Amino acid sequence: MFNKNIDLGFDLKWDNIPDDDHFKSTMKQVYEAHPTLTPHHYVINGLPVYFNKDDDVISIDLSAGADSTMLFYILASIITTLNVTPKIVIVTMIRFWETKSSIEDNVGLILEYFKEKFPNLDIIRERCFVPPSLESTPMKNITFGANNKSVFQPHIIEGADTAVYAIDNFSQYIRQKYKIKRSYGGITTNPDQLDGPEFRKKRILSDNDLAMYSMNWPRQDPFLYIQKNWVMAQYENFNITDLRDMTRSCSTPDTVLDAVHGKDNWNVIGSAYVCGQCFFCHERAWAQDNMSLLLQQNHI
């Protein structure tokens, strides 16, 4: 199984984890398919994370949630350990602003934290604003022209909403603007026990899925096949519970927070005021309750 190959984190004792554990079984599948990772994969507490030292510009989608913040932390740590200085473009989505308070300020505070902890990082911030009506307008209603041809398959145009186009087009713009070599996202797989977003549903991994560990893909989602309990464990392992508490998973509308905490009696900074009812709150609680096997103290 994968062993630590960078001066960061600890070596996981795989025998201390039961075989039916989701993280272990997934990593075993990856290992069996690709026992030799690319030279750009660094094993961080059991998980291979891709970073190419030659990438002079990378982007990270940062929502201020626990997953994307942890991914940023791991990449920042790898970059610092390798003593390289890529430009890091942090991309934040602003969505549903009419019904949900903006997490822009939360992202700002998290970036300040990183700038203090990793003063040598070259960080640039970009915001993608999605006008709310695009989320409910079918993509097929959009008129594509000669200079902005659709890049989508017919079934996506038929089934997706216009926000998908807006976000994809913004990504293209950012890629062109900064000449980004690699972009990163921190999406995880839903826990087995909870009904979450369909696209994050646990599924049988194909050879193509696993090829991520043998190819130099321009898009990297290192957490794509693992669950949030591994992510939450790393806040303890790296001793950054202060950063964890700055992150926000809850994604409920303001009206629900009004009902839970009272109007004008809450804010969306960090995880102090959450609804405790949405999928993301349930997932985070589940992850906290199920992370102990992945803590360093169980691998000494």
Binding site for another protein (CB under 8 A): 94, 97, 102, 104, 127-129, 131-134, 136-138, 141-145, 147-148, 150, 162, 165-166, 169-170, 173, 176
Of the pair 144, 276, the CB lying nearest another protein is at: 144
User: Can you state the angle between helices 104-117 and 66-82, rounded to 10 degrees?
Assistant: 20
Of the pair 16, 141, the CB lying nearest another protein is at: 141
**Chain centroid, CA 165 distance in Å:** 20
Nearest to 288 by CA among 271, 273, 269: 271
Of the pair 143, 193, the CB lying nearest another protein is at: 143
Instruction: Give CA–CA dist 150/148, Å, rounded.
Output: 6
Min separation Cβ 271 and another protein, Å: 21
Of the pair 146, 204, the CB lying nearest another protein is at: 146
**Which 3-state string (H, E, C) describes 15-61?**
HHCCCCCHHHHHHHHHHHHCCCCCCCEEEECCEEEECCCCCCEEEEE
Of the pair 132, 196, the CB lying nearest another protein is at: 132
Min separation Cβ 107 and another protein, Å: 13
Of the pair 6, 128, the CB lying nearest another protein is at: 128
Min separation Cβ 8 and another protein, Å: 35
Of the pair 5, 102, the CB lying nearest another protein is at: 102
Min separation Cβ 88 and another protein, Å: 18
Min separation Cβ 145 and another protein, Å: 5
Instruction: Give CA–CA dist 244/200, Å, rounded.
Output: 22
Min separation Cβ 178 and another protein, Å: 12
- Is 97:133 a contact under the CB 8 Å cutoff? no
Min separation Cβ 12 and another protein, Å: 42
Instruction: Give CA–CA dist 38/147, Å, rounded.
Output: 38
